[in-house]
């Protein structure tokens, strides 16, 4: 008989600790809110997935906004439908705005299905797929930009395919939200969102530099510009391959990542979902729409900048808009927390955006590029702050609604909080998609105004009026004493 010796040591509690499965496998047990589980290695796994998610999402945004810079060089590359863009040719300007708005439309449309793809296919597999999809519009552009006789509709199709990069945002955000505990979701998703948004600025900085480099390496003729555009697109290919390989090799999928389809019906029938979607058109829609249109607007309105070599090389400084808008976004959330909610901040943002539009119009009247640039930077900063403050309002609104419902129907407070959290998560997907679609509407308004009136002034003044209306809507629904949106930091677990 074998003696049993009591060593006084307890066997390891494998029910509350994290054991990483072989790479490429689904993780069947994931309990990030269990502190012991989180600290036993789950935190490192979550951060690793966040790292590769940021990399892939950043490239998605980069390819999504690629056309905003490429169109400014295609006229010189020999494509007649964009010839004269630098001289304000109305047809060329309208065609350029069409090519820059199509990716916005596709990207916003894909946001909702891409969110549901994570529970269906897994974060690892879908990140590989969504990154690899970026090869189609980039390789297609490299080929067709070197075929001078290519008709415009081919480039419209390629621009639409680049919209897949905009859909990557939603799948990436949905995937990362499952990895982190509630107390850390906000920071993780903020990092993920910022990494993606910065892709807009980096593309608008690098692409003009590479186009200029390409023309200097060859000649400043149509062939030289085609080579420059080819170089500016080709540079992304190795990074796309690296993102797909990195996701395949190092990312994980969670079996516990399940979509809460039941929460979508109450979220979709809640009027506040659609009120906030309307407001988000004014903030995120403005950020995306003007980010895509800004290079074209500068080139069309200030053609003399082409005589200043270093400004042209830096894309007429268009990258500064997306840059300041990306960095100001967290400030909106911080201000909202400090001042007791996002509604009052959002009202001030919309008022400031209307003033910024008036300054843009004054700059065009005075033909002052410095004032034009400063006014647009003001608009981008405010849009970024508004992105943060409107996002900050969403969980607070649904919390207030759920508390009201709970008091009327005898629901327990914990149950009400859980319901608010689920509905806010469902609403965020809808609000984000509608907000991004606003970027398409904004650019189409510019294009149609330019086509029918020969000037974009009517569209800009319409934006100013819309911003004031949005300020009024925010006050009416969320700043009056009948419905004051308070602070609910514990529910601010997602980002748009």
> 15 by DSSP, 3-state: which?
coil
Question: Does the pLDDT of residue 417 top 70, yes or no?
Answer: no
- What is the rounded distance in angstroms from the CA atom of residue 146 to the CA atom of residue 124? 35
Residue 75 in tokens: 């006229």
**Residue found under tokens 């080819």:** 230
Other beta carbons within 10 Å of 10:
6
**For position 419, what pLDDT does the model report?**
63
- Cα–Cα distance measured from residue 420 to residue 360, given in angstroms and rounded to the nearest whole number: 41
CB-count burial class (<10 Å; 0-12, 13-18, 19+) for 73 = buried
> In whole angstroms, what is the distance from residue 284 CA to residue 273 CA?
15
To the nearest whole percent, how much of the chain has pLDDT over 90?
Answer: 33
Report the distance separating Cα 7 and Cα 27, nearest Å: 33
Q: With 80 as the cut, is the pLDDT of residue 314 above it? A: no
394-397, long-range: CB within 8 Å, 24+ apart, which pairs? 394/276, 394/424, 394/427, 394/428, 394/431, 395/420, 395/421, 395/424, 395/488, 395/491, 395/492, 395/493, 396/341, 396/342, 396/485, 396/486, 396/487, 396/488, 396/491, 397/272, 397/276, 397/424, 397/478, 397/485
Q: In this structure, what is the dihedral angle of CA atoms 483, 336, 192, 62, given to the nearest 10 degrees? A: 100
Whether the pLDDT of residue 318 is over 60: the answer is yes
Element of type H or E holding 253 = strand 253-254
Band (490; pLDDT cuts 50, 70, 90): very low
Q: Which domains does the chain have, with CATH numbers?
A: 40-259 (1.20.1250.20), 260-496 (1.20.1250.20)
315: alpha, beta or left, given left = phi > 0 and alpha = psi -120 to 50?
left
Distance CA 223, CA 284 (A): 37
* Matching residue, tokens 């919309």: 350
For residue 316, the model assigns a pLDDT of: 65
pLDDT per residue as tens digits for the range 26-76: 888 888 888 888 888 888 999 999 999 999 999 999 999 999 889 988 988
pLDDT band of residue 111 (cuts 50, 70, 90) is confident
């Amino acid at each position: 008989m074998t003696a049993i010796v009591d060593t006084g040591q307890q066997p390891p509690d494998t029910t509350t600790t994290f054991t990483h499965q072989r790479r490429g496998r689904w993780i069947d047990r994931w309990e990030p809110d269990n502190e012991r589980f989180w600290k036993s290695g789950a935190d490192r796994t979550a951060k690793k997935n966040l790292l590769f998610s940021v990399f892939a999402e950043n490239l998605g945004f980069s390819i999504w906004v690629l056309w905003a810079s490429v169109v400014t060089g295609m006229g010189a590359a020999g494509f007649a439908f964009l010839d004269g863009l630098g001289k304000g040719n109305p047809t060329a300007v309208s065609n350029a705005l069409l090519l820059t708005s199509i990716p916005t439309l596709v990207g916003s449309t894909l946001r909702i299905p891409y969110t549901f793809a994570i529970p269906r296919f897994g974060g690892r597999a879908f990140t590989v797929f969504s990154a690899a999809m970026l090869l189609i519009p980039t390789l297609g552009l490299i080929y067709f930009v070197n075929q001078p006789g290519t008709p415009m509709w081919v480039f419209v199709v390629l621009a639409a395919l680049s919209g897949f990069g905009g859909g990557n945002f939603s799948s990436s955000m949905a995937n990362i939200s499952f990895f982190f505990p509630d107390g850390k979701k906000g920071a993780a998703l903020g990092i993920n969102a910022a990494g993606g948004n910065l892709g807009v600025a980096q593309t608008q900085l690098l692409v003009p530099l590479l186009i200029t480099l390409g023309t200097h390496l060859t000649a400043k003729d149509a062939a030289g510009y085609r080579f420059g555009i080819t170089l500016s697109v080709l540079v992304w290919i190795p990074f796309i391959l690296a993102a797909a390989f990195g996701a395949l090799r190092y990312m994980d999928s969670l079996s516990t990542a399940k979509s809460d389809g039941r929460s979508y019906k109450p979220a979709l029938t809640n009027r506040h979902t659609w009120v906030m979607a309307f407001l988000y058109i004014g903030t995120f829609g403005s950020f995306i729409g003007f980010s895509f249109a800004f290079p074209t607007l500068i080139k069309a309105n200030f053609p003399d900048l082409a005589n200043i070599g270093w400004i042209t090389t830096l894309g007429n400084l268009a990258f500064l808009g997306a840059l300041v808008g990306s960095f100001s976004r967290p400030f909106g959330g911080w201000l909202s927390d400090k001042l007791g909610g996002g509604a009052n901040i959002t009202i001030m943002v919309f008022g400031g955006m209307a003033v910024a539009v008036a300054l843009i119009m004054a700059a065009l009247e005075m033909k002052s590029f410095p004032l034009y640039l400063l006014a647009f930077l003001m608009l981008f900063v405010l849009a970024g702050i508004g992105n943060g403050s409107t996002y900050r309002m969403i969980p607070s609104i649904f919390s207030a609604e759920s508390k009201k419902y709970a008091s009327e129907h005898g629901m327990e407070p914990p149950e009400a909080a859980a319901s608010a959290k689920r509905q806010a998560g469902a609403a965020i997907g809808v609000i984000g998609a509608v907000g991004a679609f606003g970027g398409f509407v904004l650019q189409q308004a510019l294009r149609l105004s330019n086509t029918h009136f020969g000037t974009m002034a009517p569209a800009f003044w319409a934006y100013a009026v819309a911003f004031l209306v949005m300020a009024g809507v925010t006050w009416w629904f969320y700043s009056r004493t009948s419905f004051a949106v308070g602070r609910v930091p514990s529910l601010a677990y997602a980002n748009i």
